Structures are given as C-alpha cells and as structure tokens.
C-alpha cells in the first residue's frame, strides 16, 4: 500500500498527558499537512510542511502543539498537556509540489482525552 | 462570518434524482476550489477540482461564480453509493492555505 499512513489509529489518554502521532506521506510528495476534524465539521488546517520546512501554522494552534518533519519524509505531531477539548480526529495529508495538487489523506488518528 | 460556508443538510433524495449543493466563501482573493467526498468514518478524497469555466465529470458538474463568491456541485441521476458528506475546499492567500467547509450530507434512498 503506497498511500498515506498514520499511527496509531486510535489513542486514549488522560488529561495532562503528552501524545505523539506519526504520519508517513506518499513517498514522492513534498508537501505534508496536518488537520484536526471534530464531529460534524470539516477538517481544520493546523500546519503544513514543504519538505522539512514548516511553512505555515494556524493561528488557532495552541503552543501545546508542535509538529516536525526532520528529514522531509515522515512527520510527527505532538500534543503536550492534553485537554479534553483536544479530542478529535487528526488527519494527515500529502501532495506534490504545487498547493493546487490533490491532497491524499491518511486514515487519521482518533484521539480521546479523558 | 465563516470563511467557507456550507449547508450541512442532510439532503435526502431518491435514487435517480438530481441534487445541487452550494458553498460560499468570504475571501474574494481565493484562488483555487475543490470538492472532496468523505464517507462515514473515512478520510476525505478528492472528487473534483472546480475550474473558472465550470467542469463536468460524468454525473458530476462543478461551477464557480466569482461575482457571488460561491461554488456549486450538481449530481445527476443519484446513486445509493453517492451517499456521503461533500466538502468544499478553498485555497486562499500567498501560501494557499486550504480551508474546508463543514460539509453537506447527502443521503440517497431507494
């Protein structure tokens, strides 16, 4: 399977704990996006990378959130001191160079903060 | 006002019906537009891009109205398998940040 993969698929954690999610994009894709989606809403942009450079970060993104893409391949999204409001589906997508290119989404990581 | 707005529905239609959804956007500088489809508990997948002159792909037609700042999706001869949530996406700004609407739910019944 050469699509976008995400790990883990599900995560249950207690409030205050740190969590880290991983995304492996399609191999030849340079752009990688992170989104958050809650029930009944569309995906909300969090941040994106062009190769290893993080080029844009949502103003809505708390400083508890950090993302990396150290070698321009896989990416990690870390949430520190999780809150119940962080419960959501975290989606990763990748695309080729142009922002107008199709984004291919991974299956998502569903986070539940108790 | 939200940047991208969609009627959440659900639109409940019989097989064979024609149904249309609109999506309005607030930023007149928006440059690119897309429709994605999302099945229940699945990831979004591109349905079609929206070109200035309008475009068609089989039973699906997408149109852009820049003057009124909306895009539309028309589905003809609806199939049961068309049941899904349809998300509009708008790219805006120098960085082309994608903004998704909340989606419109379509239910096609026999």
pLDDT tens-digit series, residues A12-33: 999 999 999 999 999 989 999 9
State the average pLDDT over residues A98-113: 92
**B2 near B26, Cβ under 8 Å?**
yes
pLDDT tens-digit series, residues A35-72: 999 999 999 999 999 999 999 899 878 899 999 999 88
Residue A72, pLDDT score? 86
Q: How far is A66 from chain B (nearest CA, A)?
A: 18
pLDDT in single tens digits along all 110 residues of chain B = 678 999 999 999 999 999 999 999 998 888 899 999 999 999 999 999 998 888 999 999 999 999 999 999 999 999 999 999 999 999 987 778 899 999 999 999 99
A97 touches chain B (CB under 8 A): no
Q: What is the DSSP letter of B96?
A: T
Residue A36, pLDDT score? 97
- Residues of chain A in contact with residue B8, where contact means CB-CB under 8 angstroms, are 40
A38 touches chain B (CB under 8 A): no
Question: Between chains, do A45 and B95 touch, taking CB under 8 Å as contact?
Answer: no
Which residues are CB-neighbours of B55 under 8 A, at least 6 positions away?
B48, B49, B61, B62
Q: Half-sphere exposure of A103 toward its Cβ, with a 13 Å CA cutoff? A: 31
Structure tokens at A83: 């809150």
Question: Between chains, do A99 and B96 touch, taking CB under 8 Å as contact?
Answer: yes
Residue A104, pLDDT score? 94
State the average pLDDT over residues A71-93: 96
Size of interface A-B (CB pairs under 8 A): 46
A1 pLDDT more than 60: no
Residue B94, pLDDT score? 72
């Amino acid at each position: 399977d050469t699509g976008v993969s995400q790990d883990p698929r599900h995560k249950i954690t207690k409030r205050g704990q740190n969590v880290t999610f991983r995304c492996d994009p399609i191999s030849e894709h340079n752009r990688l996006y992170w989104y958050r989606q809650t029930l009944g809403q569309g995906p909300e942009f969090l941040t994106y990378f062009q190769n290893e450079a993080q080029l844009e970060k949502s103003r809505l993104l708390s400083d508890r959130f950090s993302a990396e893409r150290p070698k321009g391949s896989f990416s990690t999204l870390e949430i520190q001191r999780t809150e119940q409001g962080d419960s959501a589906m975290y989606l990763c997508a990748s695309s080729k160079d142009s922002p107008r290119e199709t984004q291919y989404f991974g299956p998502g990581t569903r986070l539940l903060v108790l | 006002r939200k940047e991208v707005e969609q009627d959440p529905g659900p639109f409940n239609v019989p097989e064979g019906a024609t149904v249309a959804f609109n999506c309005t956007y607030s930023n007149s500088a928006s440059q690119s537009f897309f429709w994605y489809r999302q099945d229940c508990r699945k990831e979004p997948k591109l349905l079609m891009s929206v070109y200035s002159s309008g475009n068609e792909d089989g039973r699906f037609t997408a149109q852009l109205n820049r003057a009124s700042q909306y895009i539309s999706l028309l589905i003809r001869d609806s199939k049961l398998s068309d049941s899904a949530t349809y998300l509009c996406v708008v790219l805006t700004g120098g960085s082309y940040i994608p903004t998704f609407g909340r989606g419109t739910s379509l239910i096609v019944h026999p």
